Amino acid sequence: MDKSTPSRRRLLATAAAVAANPAWAQSGDVRLRRDGAERALPARTLGFNTPANNAIPFEDPAYAPAVKAIAPHYLRFPGGTVANYYNWRTGQLDVTDYPDGSIYRKFMIAKMVPATLKAHPNGVFYDRFHAFAEQVGADVVMLPNLETSTEANEAARFQAMAARGLVPSHIEMGNEFYHALVMDPETLKIFPDWKTSLARTHRYLEAIRPSLRKDARIAVQAASSRLHHPDASPPDDPRALKERQWDDAMAPEPWFDAVTAHLYPALSRSAGLKAMADIPGNVGMIYPAMLARADEGYDRSLSDTAARMPGKEIWVTEWGGFETENTLGTSNVKFDGMWLHQVTRSLMSQLRRREVTVSNYHALFARGDMSSVLKVGPGEPKYTPVNSAGVLHWFFAATRGPDAHYQRVRVEGSQRIAAHGTIDGEGFRDVEAALLRQGRRRTLFVHNAWDTPHGLNLGDLVGATTPLIADVVATPDLLKVYHDGVPAVTPLPTQRGVTAPAHSLTRVRWTA
């Protein structure tokens, strides 16, 4: 019989637990605690924006296995701006030239239309893309064409899809009407404001509605104007002003379920165009600005959208490692360690929000450049993962349902880092964490975005004798470019605790 006091027995039990698993007793300099209630995630949440007419070789039999290895939940068809010019009968893009066309219209005519004809000479067709999505284990977010197609033509398109049983559940009504092809005069006539554009959207929806599934979810477009232009002062730029006015006019309607958000914390918009002139010399300013925009900037923008659209889901159908200045040919920014941390923090910021039920990374390109996650190699396998593919896979795998749950984690001892970018007062926490659960399996992500290693006290999350598996992606050189491959995954020892290195994403897994 144990005659020791209750406090003595507790002390002995604690000592035994410490001996069995020192990681549990690690007194790291940051302590991780559950913050609020766990919530269930949708069966599918994360995926890719897939501008199929662009550099996405989905017809190649070798491509599907490479994409399946990343494990996206969703693919978006036909993706992005191309959706507003996609001709479903020819599988090509219909873009008309005008003398006063915007820089984006001229880019599409000069670059995108010839590129899609070269990449897909026989056209891009949905039935083939749908088969590709099934091969990689993904559902489709479908965009009808509300700009260069008619209501009757889109109705015929969806009738043909329904006849083959290929209509997906998620329907996104067009793309980025709020900036009207970057203030193109002809596009502005069609989409001058929220009210006019919403009425057009409703007409097209009614045209295709007879072909939609009973469980169809419908999304209309928000402008996410507060990401780069908060309420502190009216924006001077006409495009920014139009986006502000668009969001200010929004109101929920019963006939749609969700609103979209496109969130790009690009270097040029977070730190400013001048900073891009000397990226090595300005890293100390650029990096915090990008992280802050992907953290507090995301919170500001998503909170604004959620407040204007109560009860509606938010589909972040475009976000990620994308620099507009690259697309328009005014710069050549590359995907380096800074961008990898921007992507990581963007993922964690979206997971914090209950309203975000769809999130599509831009883009599923295979050309080994800034927006790519794959690259064609000289040997086998044909396609090599690059840039953010590895980090995305970690999150895709940990959040996939049907029994996926998210738990916010408070990091006691973390510090707020103030940025000095284009928005005064914006900042981020140096260490952010999230706990994902799938049945008994737990995955803890710890993002240490700053330059100091941190020991992790996991005593409030992990059982006293629970075995841990830990690994890490670290980028000690923030300017190292990852166009030829993803950063290495390194196992971490757990016998004496877990330490998150500087500039790293740490993954800790266990079963409980």
Rounded Cα distance between 456 and 498, Å, is 6
CATH topology of domain 9-38+406-511: Immunoglobulin-like (2.60.40)
pLDDT single digits (tens) 114-160: 999 999 999 999 999 999 999 999 999 999 999 999 999 999 999 99
Q: For residue 80, how many other CB atoms are within 10 A of its CB?
A: 22
DSSP state of 488: P
Q: Residue 104 above 70 pLDDT? A: yes
Q: What is the pLDDT of residue 11?
A: 36
Angstrom distance (rounded) from CA 226 to CA 277: 26
At a CB cut-off of 8 Å and minimum separation 6, what does 112 contact? 53, 54, 82, 93, 95
Task: For residue 407, list its beta bridge partners.
Answer: 435
What pLDDT band is residue 169 in, cutting at 50, 70 and 90? very high
pLDDT confidence band for 233 (50 / 70 / 90) = confident
Q: How many residues does the chain have?
A: 512
Average pLDDT of 405-432? 97
Amino acid identity, position 267: L
pLDDT at residue 269 in the model: 92
251: amino acid identity, one letter: A
DSSP codes joined into one string, 78-147? S-TGGGGGEETTTTEE-----TT--HHHHHIIIIIHHHHHHH-TT---HHHHHHHHHHHT-EEEE---SS
137-164 as b/e: b if 16+ CB within 10 A:
ebbbbbbbbbbbbebeebbbbbebbeee
Amino acid at 439: G
Distance CA 288, CA 420 (A): 7
Q: What is the pLDDT of residue 276?
A: 84
Question: Comparing 183-197, 272-286, 468-482, which segment has the lowest mean pLDDT?
Answer: 272-286
Instruction: List the structure tokens of 127.
Output: 């039935």
CB atoms near residue 128 (< 10 Å): 16
pLDDT band at 27 (very low <50, low <70, confident <90, very high): low
Mean pLDDT of 282-294: 97
Q: pLDDT category, 28, cuts 50, 70, 90?
A: confident
Give the span between the Cα atoms of 375 and 393, in whole angstroms. 16
3-class SS of residue 37: coil
DSSP-derived 3-state class of residue 239: helix
Closest CA to 72 of 120, 141, 166, 151: 141
For residue 329, give the 3-state DSSP assignment: coil
pTM: 0.94
Q: DSSP state, 367?
A: B
Angular region, 132: left φ>0, alpha ψ -120 to 50, beta rest: alpha
H or E element in which residue 194 lies: helix 194-208
The fraction of the chain above a pLDDT of 70, given in percent, is: 94
Give the model's pLDDT for residue 487.
98
Regarding beta strands 383-385 and 374-376, do their DSSP bridges make them parallel or antiparallel, or are they unpaired? antiparallel
Phi-psi region of 74 (alpha: psi -120 to 50; beta: other; left: phi over 0): beta
Distances (CA, A) of 5 to 9, 13, 16, 18, 318: 6, 12, 17, 20, 60
Q: What are phi and psi of 207, to 5 degrees?
A: -70, -40
Strands (E), 175-257: 217-221
pLDDT band at residue 19, thresholds of 50, 70 and 90?
A: very low
Contact by Cβ (8 Å): 458, 24: yes
The amino acid sitting at 340 is: L
Picking from 392, 387, 400, the residue whose alpha carbon sits closest to that of residue 348 is: 392
Residue with the two structure tokens 């915090």: 288
Average pLDDT over residues 439-468: 94
Burial label for 61, CB within 10 Å (0-12, 13-18, 19+), is: exposed
Residue 18 pLDDT > 90, yes or no?
no
Does residue 58 surpass a pLDDT of 90? yes
pLDDT (tens digit per residue) in 365-416: 999 999 999 999 888 899 999 999 999 999 999 999 999 999 999 999 999 9
pLDDT in tens, 76-101: 999 999 999 999 999 999 999 999 99
Architecture per CATH, domain 42-404, reads as Alpha-Beta Barrel (3.20)
User: Could you state, in order of their start, the residue ranges of all structural domains in the chain?
Assistant: 9-38+406-511, 42-404
